[in-house]
C-alpha cells in the first residue's frame, strides 16, 4: 500500500494550477463547504482510478457489440454494405461512413475488401453504432437484422432498451475520454450495463471480462473517498 502523500501549501498551489481551479471546483462542490485540498485531490484520484478501470470493459463492449452488429448488417445488406446507403441511414451517419471509406479505400494495406470493411468498422464511432437503434430504424434495421445481434439475451428485448443502454455507456465513455468527473454517478449500474450487453452477444466473453477487469477492486480501494459524496443513483450524465 502506498504511503500517504503529503501536500505542502506550495504543492497544493502548483497542482491546482496544473489541473485548473475550475476542474477541481467540481470536486469541491461534491464534497461541500469547508473541504480540504487533501479531500479534493483524494476524490480526484478516485475518479481517475475508476475511469481507468472502466475503460477496459467499455473497450470490450464496444468491440464485441459492433462486430455482432456488423455481422447482421452483412447478412442483410451484403459484405459491401458501406458502398451504398441501402440501410437508409440518416445523412450524418452515412456521411461518416463515406468519409472513412474515402480515407482508406486507396491505401494498399486495405486492398482486400475484408480488411477494408474491418477498418471501416473500427473507425466508426460508438455514437454511430448506438444511433442504429434509434426509433427511425425500428422497421428497416431492428426488425430485419439488428435484433439478431444479441442472440443470448434470454428473453424479449426492445430496440429502445438497447439504445438507452448503449447511449448511457457512450456518454460515460465520452466523459472519461474528456477527463471529466464520473464519480457522482451510479458507476456500478453502468458497469453492470456493460457486462449485460456483452453477455447478450457472448456470455463467455462477459464471464472472461468479469474475471479479469478491476472495477470492483478499484471501487473497494477507494470506498472511503466514494463515501465522502452522495452518489446520484440512476442519474443521467
Read off the pLDDT of residues 61-87 as tens digits, 9 standing for 90 and up.
Answer: 999 999 999 999 999 999 899 998 899
Tell me if 121 sits within 8 A of 67, measured CB to CB.
yes
Would you give the distance in Å from CA 128 to the centre of its chain?
A: 13
Quick one: how far is CA 202 from the chain centroid?
Answer: 18
Q: Supply the pLDDT for residue 236.
A: 47
Q: What is the pLDDT of residue 234?
A: 39
Q: Region 91-103: what's the mean pLDDT?
A: 95
- The pLDDT > 70 percentage for the chain reads 96
In angstroms, rounded to a whole number, what is the distance separating the alpha carbons of residues 68 and 207?
Answer: 18
For residue range 10-54, list pLDDT tens digits in order.
999 999 999 999 999 999 999 988 899 999 999 999 999 999 999
pLDDT tens readout for residues 129-163: 999 999 999 999 999 999 999 999 988 999 999 99
Amino acid at each position: 500500500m502506498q504511503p500517504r502523500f503529503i501536500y505542502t501549501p506550495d504543492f497544493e498551489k502548483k497542482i491546482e494550477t496544473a489541473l485548473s481551479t475550475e476542474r477541481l471546483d467540481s470536486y469541491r462542490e461534491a464534497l461541500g463547504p469547508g473541504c480540504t485540498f487533501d479531500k479534493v485531490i483524494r476524490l480526484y484520484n478516485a475518479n481517475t482510478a475508476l475511469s481507468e478501470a472502466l475503460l477496459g470493459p467499455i473497450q470490450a463492449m464496444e468491440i464485441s457489440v459492433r462486430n455482432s452488429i456488423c455481422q447482421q448488417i452483412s447478412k442483410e445488406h451484403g459484405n459491401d454494405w458501406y458502398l451504398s446507403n441501402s440501410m437508409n441511414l440518416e445523412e450524418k451517419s452515412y456521411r461518416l461512413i463515406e468519409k472513412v471509406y474515402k480515407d482508406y479505400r486507396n491505401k494498399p494495406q486495405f486492398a482486400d475488401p475484408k480488411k477494408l470493411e474491418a477498418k471501416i468498422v473500427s473507425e466508426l464511432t460508438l455514437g454511430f453504432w448506438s444511433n442504429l437503434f434509434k426509433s427511425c430504424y425500428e422497421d428497416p434495421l431492428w426488425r430485419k437484422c439488428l435484433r439478431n445481434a444479441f442472440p443470448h439475451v434470454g428473453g424479449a428485448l426492445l430496440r429502445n432498451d438497447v439504445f438507452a443502454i448503449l447511449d448511457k455507456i457512450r456518454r460515460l465513455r465520452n466523459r472519461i475520454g474528456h477527463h471529466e468527473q464520473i464519480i457522482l454517478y451510479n458507476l456500478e449500474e453502468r458497469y453492470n450495463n456493460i457486462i449485460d450487453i456483452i453477455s447478450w452477444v457472448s456470455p463467455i466473453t462477459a464471464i472472461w471480462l468479469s474475471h479479469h477487469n478491476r472495477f470492483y477492486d478499484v471501487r473497494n480501494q477507494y470506498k472511503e473517498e466514494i463515501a465522502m459524496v452522495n452518489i446520484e443513483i440512476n442519474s443521467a450524465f
